[in-house]
Amino acid sequence: MRFLVDNNLSPLVATYLNDAGHEAVHVRDYDMRAASDTIVLARADAENRVLLSADTDFGGLLAQQRAEKPSVLLIRRLAGRRATAQVSIVLDNLAAVTADLEAGAIVVLTDTAIRIRRLPVLPR
């Protein structure tokens, strides 16, 4: 899977994902450390990448835009965890959410749960 790793996660996350056979780049690789969330989403969309982040603002942006892509994989409640632990949670659950991410979704991973919301997010 192709990932764009957000600035709120360590660049090591991208390194470990690459080591596991995925194609991952960190926003720092594009010198986008100060880029707005909208710009980061646009980059992920343009490169057909899943945005990997801990920032819940991306879900709101996708809902506002009624966007169908890019997918966002949020890792939550992992503050203070090392990059290796964050990547482990992603890799341990990736098979279960791959179809959703390929179709367009916001996927939230925690230590104990997976939540999936297909895109576009429409008003209720």
The pLDDT of residue 124: 64
Distance between CA atoms of residues 91 and 75, nearest Å: 12
Percentage of the chain with pLDDT > 90?
82
Distance between CA atoms of residues 85 and 106, nearest Å: 21
Instruction: Give residue limits of the domains in the chain.
Output: 2-118
pLDDT band at 80, cuts 50/70/90? low
Lookup: tokens for 40? 């980061």
pLDDT band at 111, cuts 50/70/90? confident
Q: Which residue has the higher pLDDT, 33 or 70?
A: 70
pLDDT at 7 over 80: yes
pLDDT band at 77, cuts 50/70/90? confident
Distance between CA atoms of residues 84 and 63, nearest Å: 31
